[in-house]
């Protein structure tokens, strides 16, 4: 229709912190047809490179193969995760709601979130009248949403883009903000191309950041052919690419026939830092899809050796196996025998057990399907739950006990004494003299059956005038059960006040052994010391979930032991305490919520909700049984 115009534009790579540190330049040969809004991104770059280019710590340079890695996987892993999640729209799926009468427990999945939501609702109700009054005020106006950027619903000409930019106040970063908005709202690719055309015609330059945002949009939209063009352009124009771009290229290439190129890109990432589990997941998935089980398992082993935990998607891919053509399946069978493959997959389940990882429902379903597909083994899977006494409701098997073995208990006791009671910051919580006085006190007393965090328990009711009465009610209930009790408190509780009745405190000291620390001291180290010193039978009463103390322990295995001991020994009050009413505690399960197996069965607790916090355990189980 119109003559072909040749635009020779210079691309300036601006330093953008903290994502980019590019300072090289390039020339972009761009063909634009008449009034067309489309940029053919297969056009080539003619580029020059600044010899003094400074490469940021998150870039890889193809000319510097000996570049040392940067070991900062925690922060970078999170950054890469956000890149991938944004580009692919990955996230947790909708929860599978199963309504069954489970025993109440502070460690049950979803408890923390439900408690938070309840508190929010109460706060909202308390302020509703005030909000309604404000909303009803005459002349009230709102500017919420005013000036927000909205992308067009069709490709625009340069003149139309200029008019839109002027209507928004000629924002300095208009192009970047608009591309981000397009990405967030899932705009069509042609609209984004028309924006690039406008920027080139207006400025004669495209920033590295804008190209990266466009790449992100292409990856999210599944426009892999377009990604290939961007890859060729950027490879020919820049001496190095930041890991954000490399991550996107790995994701896009891994889902195409050019997936092996993702292996080379992954090797580039390794020169800077350890790739994230998301990087490995994409390439492992591609290898399994195309029947290359050798590469898939080699990458999985590398991931484990790096000390990283695989994504649930990775396990799901491995359990689903090769899903490609018959030729690819035949190739996979030649690379790994059925018995070897089975052994590897059972090893994944043992990894989940040893690291107290719970499969999500989709993964549990893949595990169930794999077991049931094993030729000649007659496995059957069922969705079920456990009874309050730790029996599988499907097969009747008794689940593993929540109680620690003698060896586990001694190991945990030693670690807690060393890392929490005698840790480097223990004297920020007490004094050396007070700690020794408490140890002497405990040695002179009989072994306790239950240790109470007095201040924590007393504060369960909002009415501060009832603190001593609340604590007395709890102590009285435990004394009625014939328990030997230790109450830990603070010195101010002994001074008569509206909160602390003298008579109540005297009765408490008659019914229980009591130790009152200085007012500035923390109760938790004393509670843990007394409970662990008393023996494996001793329980403790507190609403504190001990997250900080668990974090003080040196390794994951010990932290998991602590959590197991905590779930089997922590008594939590069931609701508020009222005078004249019997005090009740939430039930303590007598079984461990962990992947477990016997000769002819597997039991896997799985996540059927996204509400579970890290201090909670699932309530639903997958029961797998092998028929004779």
Higher-pLDDT residue of 195 and 148 is 195
Q: At residue 395, what are phi and psi to the nearest 5 degrees?
A: -105, -10
Q: Categorize the per-residue pLDDT at 52 as very low, low, confident or very high, splitting at 50, 70 and 90.
A: very low
CB neighbour list of residue 25: distance below 8 Å, 6 or more residues apart: 10, 11, 12, 13, 47, 48, 49, 50
Torsion over CA: 490, 491, 494, 499 (sign): negative
* Mean predicted lDDT score pLDDT of the chain: 79
Higher-pLDDT residue of 451 and 582 is 451
DSSP structural state of residue 356: T
pLDDT at 132 over 70: no
Residue 128 CA neighbour count, 13 Å, CB half: 7
Q: Categorize the per-residue pLDDT at 349 as very low, low, confident or very high, splitting at 50, 70 and 90.
A: very high
| Averaged pLDDT for residues 269-282 | 94
Lowest mean pLDDT, pick from 477-491, 527-541, 550-564: 550-564
CA distances from 288 to 254, 298, 332, 337, 523 (A): 11, 12, 9, 15, 53
Q: Is 53 exposed, middle or buried (0-12, 13-18, 19+ CB in 10 A)?
A: middle
Q: Categorize the per-residue pLDDT at 568 as very low, low, confident or very high, splitting at 50, 70 and 90.
A: very high
| Averaged pLDDT for residues 293-309 | 95
Q: Given its phi and psi angles, is residue 588 left (phi above 0), alpha (psi -120 to 50 degrees) or beta?
A: beta
Interstrand relation of 513-517 and 596-598 (parallel, antiparallel or unpaired): unpaired
What's the confidence (pLDDT) of residue 72?
42
| Averaged pLDDT for residues 34-59 | 38
What's the confidence (pLDDT) of residue 549?
78
Query: What is the percent of the chain with per-residue pLDDT over 90, rounded to a whole number?
Result: 53
Higher-pLDDT residue of 308 and 98 is 308
pLDDT digit string (tens) for 396-432?
999 999 999 999 999 999 998 888 877 655 555 677 8
| Averaged pLDDT for residues 371-399 | 94
Q: Which of 110, 115, 106 is nearest to 589 (CA)?
A: 106
What's the confidence (pLDDT) of residue 25?
34
Q: Do the beta carbons of residue 63 and residue 265 sit within 8 Å?
A: no
What's the confidence (pLDDT) of residue 612?
77
Q: Categorize the per-residue pLDDT at 41 as very low, low, confident or very high, splitting at 50, 70 and 90.
A: very low
| SS3 at position 85 | helix
Q: At residue 7, what are phi and psi to the nearest 5 degrees?
A: -105, 125
The CA distance from 132 to 127, in Å, is 9
Q: At residue 265, what are phi and psi to the nearest 5 degrees?
A: -65, -40
- Let me know how long the chain is: 628
Q: What is the pTM for the complete model shown? A: 0.75
What's the confidence (pLDDT) of residue 110?
62
> What DSSP letter does each residue of 285-323 carry, written as one string?
HHHHHTT-HHHHHHHHHHHHHTTPPPPHHHHHHHHH---
| SS3 at position 59 | strand
Q: Categorize the per-residue pLDDT at 337 as very low, low, confident or very high, splitting at 50, 70 and 90.
A: confident
Q: Given its phi and psi angles, is residue 34 left (phi above 0), alpha (psi -120 to 50 degrees) or beta?
A: left
Higher-pLDDT residue of 34 and 271 is 271
DSSP structural state of residue 465: G
Lowest mean pLDDT, pick from 11-15, 308-312, 405-409: 11-15
The CA distance from 550 to 569, in Å, is 15
Give me 431's structure tokens.
Answer: 């004094």
DSSP structural state of residue 95: P
The CA distance from 493 to 517, in Å, is 10
Q: Which of 503, 494, 506, 552 is nearest to 528 (CA)?
A: 552
pLDDT digit string (tens) for 186-220?
999 999 999 999 998 988 878 889 989 999 999 99
What's the confidence (pLDDT) of residue 540?
96
Q: Categorize the per-residue pLDDT at 126 as very low, low, confident or very high, splitting at 50, 70 and 90.
A: low
DSSP structural state of residue 595: -
Q: Categorize the per-residue pLDDT at 435 as very low, low, confident or very high, splitting at 50, 70 and 90.
A: confident
């Amino acid at each position: 229709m119109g003559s072909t115009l040749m635009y020779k534009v210079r691309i300036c790579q601006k330093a953008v912190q903290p994502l980019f540190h590019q300072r090289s330049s390039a020339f972009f040969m761009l063909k634009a047809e008449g009034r067309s809004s489309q940029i053919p991104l297969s056009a080539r770059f003619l580029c020059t490179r600044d010899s003094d280019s400074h490469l940021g710590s998150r870039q890889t340079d193809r000319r510097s193969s000996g570049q040392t890695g940067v070991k900062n996987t925690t922060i970078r892993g999170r950054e890469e995760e956000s890149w991938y999640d944004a580009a692919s729209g990955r996230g947790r799926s909708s929860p599978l709601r199963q309504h069954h009468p489970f025993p109440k427990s502070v460690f049950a999945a979803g408890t923390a979130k439900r408690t938070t939501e309840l508190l929010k609702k109460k706060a909202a109700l308390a302020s509703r009248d005030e909000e309604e009054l404000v909303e009803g005020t005459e002349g009230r106006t709102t500017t919420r949403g005013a000036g927000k950027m909205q992308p067009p619903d069709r490709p625009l000409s340069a003149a139309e883009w200029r008019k839109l930019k002027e209507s928004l106040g000629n924002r300095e970063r208009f192009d970047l903000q608009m591309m981000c908005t397009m990405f967030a709202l899932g705009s069509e690719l042609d609209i984004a191309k028309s924006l690039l055309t406008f920027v080139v015609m207006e400025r004669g330059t495209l920033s590295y950041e804008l190209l990266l945002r466009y790449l992100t949009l292409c990856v999210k939209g599944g426009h892999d052919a377009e990604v290939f063009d961007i890859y060729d352009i950027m490879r020919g124009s820049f001496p190095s690419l930041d890991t954000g771009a490399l991550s996107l290229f790995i994701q896009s290439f891994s889902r195409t026939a050019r997936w092996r190129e993702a292996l080379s890109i992954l090797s580039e990432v390794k020169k800077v830092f350890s790739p994230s589990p998301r990087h490995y997941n994409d390439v492992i998935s591609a290898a399994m899809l195309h029947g290359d089980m050798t590469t898939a398992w080699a990458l999985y082993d590398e991931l484990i050796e790096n000390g990283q935990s695989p994504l649930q998607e990775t396990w799901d891919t491995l359990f689903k196996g090769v899903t490609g053509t018959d030729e690819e399946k035949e190739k996979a069978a030649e690379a790994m025998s059925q018995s070897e493959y089975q052994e590897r997959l059972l090893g994944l389940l043992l990894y989940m057990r040893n690291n107290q990882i719970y499969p999500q429902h989709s993964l549990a379903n893949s595990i169930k399907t794999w077991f049931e597909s094993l030729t000649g083994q007659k496995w059957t899977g069922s969705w079920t739950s456990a009874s309050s006494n730790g029996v599988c409701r499907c097969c009747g098997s008794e689940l593993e006990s929540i109680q620690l073995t003698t060896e586990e208990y001694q190991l945990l006791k030693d670690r807690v004494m060393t890392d929490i009671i005698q840790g480097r910051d223990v004297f920020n919580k007490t004094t050396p003299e007070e700690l020794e006085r408490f140890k002497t006190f405990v040695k002179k007393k009989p072994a306790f059956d239950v240790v109470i965090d007095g201040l924590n328990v007393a504060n369960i009711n909002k009415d501060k005038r009832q603190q001593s009465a609340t604590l007395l009610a709890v102590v009285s209930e435990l004394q009625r059960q014939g328990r030997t009790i230790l109450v830990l408190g603070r010195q101010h509780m002994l001074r008569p006040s509206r909160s602390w009745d003298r008579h109540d405190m005297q009765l408490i000291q008659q019914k229980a052994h009591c130790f009152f620390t200085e007012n500035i001291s923390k109760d938790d180290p004393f509670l843990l010391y007394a409970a662990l010193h008393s023996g494996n039978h001793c329980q403790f009463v507190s609403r504190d979930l001990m997250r900080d103390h668990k974090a003080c322990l040196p390794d994951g295995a010990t932290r998991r032991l602590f959590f197991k001991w905590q779930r089997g020994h922590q008594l939590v009050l069931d609701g508020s305490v009222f005078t004249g009413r019997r005090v009740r505690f939430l039930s303590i399960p007598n079984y461990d919520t962990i992947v477990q197996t016997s000769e002819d069965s597997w039991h896997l607790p799985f996540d059927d909700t996204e509400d579970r916090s890290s201090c909670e355990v699932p309530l639903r189980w997958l029961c797998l049984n092998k028929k004779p």
